[in-house]
Amino acid sequence: MRPTSGTPQASPAAEDMALLLLSGGTTGLPKLIPRSHADYLYNGRAAGEVCGHSSDTVYLATLPVAFNYTMNCPGVLGTLAVGGKVVLAANPDPSYCFELIERERVTITAINPQLAPVWLAERGGTRADLSSLRVLQVGSARLADDVARQIITEFTGTVLQQVFGMAEGLLCLTRLDDSPEIIATTQGRPISPADDVRVTDDEDRDVSDGEVGELLARGPYTLRGYYRAPEHNAKTFTDDGYYRTGDRVRRLPSGHLIVAGRSKDQINRGGEKIPATEVENHLQAHPAIQSIALLPTPDPDLGERSVAFIVPTGASTPTRRELAAFLTERGVAAYKVPDEVRTVETMPLTPVGKMDKKALAVLLDKGTSA
């Protein structure tokens, strides 16, 4: 119903809810994340400052715009906030995107780790002029160190920027002037000086730099509670307001974070805890593997055993024995070698573009591959 003439209109306040984002939901049920006008605007602007955004910035949105990563890290909104230009790609195919980069003189774009191998393969043979591309962001999931080093080597004249963040708020970026080693091996540091992060053990005690612990965060653009989820909020926030991210990280003295995996994404194999992300990062460097996901499945003797779902780069998938030899060469303990290998044509993704381990778990239950 339209207001009658002369009825005063209430203006939205900066702290009012601007939108509801959907949590990643890679292993659990997605939840609604309320973001205010003020915190969401600050999120994009602060990220844009780290990226050196200006009115000359041309951002290519390769991933769906509805993703928080594409929308505001700094993405579409962070670019428009400084008067830059946004180019929308119809799909993330590298040959098509490289044409757009050349034609529109794109200065920054963002992809996820699943796209990194195909972009690298296209980079080796393209004739497209990519000289305008100043920054290539990779985020939404952990980028394997070896793949990061390949990007640094192959995309000459372009700075790789690792992105680690969450729709719930906290956003970490590597800096454009970080050393190649820091860029290749870390997932950045918080974008705001007001970000307050802790790395803690199971008793919420701070651990020393270099030790793995759970990442806790609070700050000017991090949520204070999920939408209409009081029971979940009681478990997800500390009494003093820190958000329990569920991410396990190591923090360097410089403040850079190295993602070790999710607290729930571990496999208990005969009492030995296997961090799935660690093994996935090693196997992603295998030349015959385009994409890899490690999942647990029940075992009557071990409790759980590990199953590797692999999208191969060619016609054949590496065998378990080949994976064992590869991991041994990289110094990985024998108990972390996958117990079983399955081939999938494509890696299922969640609605926000992350690897969908729930969908793979369904395949495990059915005893099938895709």
The Cα 50–Cα 64 span in angstroms is 23
The Cα 137–Cα 150 span in angstroms is 14
Residues 6+ apart with CB under 8 A from 37: 12, 13, 14, 15, 16, 18
For tokens 């496999």, the residue is: 267
With a cut of 50, which residues of the chain have pLDDT below it? 1, 370
3-class secondary-structure state, position 17 = strand
Strands (E), the chain: 17-22, 32-36, 58-61, 85-88, 108-111, 135-139, 159-165, 171-173, 189-190, 196-200, 212-218, 243-251, 257-262, 266-269, 272-275, 289-299, 303-312, 340-343
The Cα 279–Cα 277 span in angstroms is 6
Provide the CB-side half-sphere exposure for 261 (13 A, CA).
18
Residues 6+ apart with CB under 8 A from 145: 184, 185, 281, 285
- What tens digit of pLDDT does each residue of 15-33 get? 999 999 998 755 567 799 9
Strand ranges of the sheet holding 196-200, from the earlier edge strand across to the other edge: 196-200, 212-218, 243-251, 257-262
The Cα 191–Cα 173 span in angstroms is 7
- What tens digit of pLDDT does each residue of 144-173 get? 999 999 999 999 999 999 999 999 999 999
Q: What is the largest CA-CA distance in the chain?
A: 77
The Cα 93–Cα 213 span in angstroms is 37
- What tens digit of pLDDT does each residue of 299-337 get? 999 999 999 999 999 999 999 999 999 999 999 999 999
The structural domains of the chain, ordered by start, are 17-194 (3.40.50.980), 265-366 (3.30.300.30)
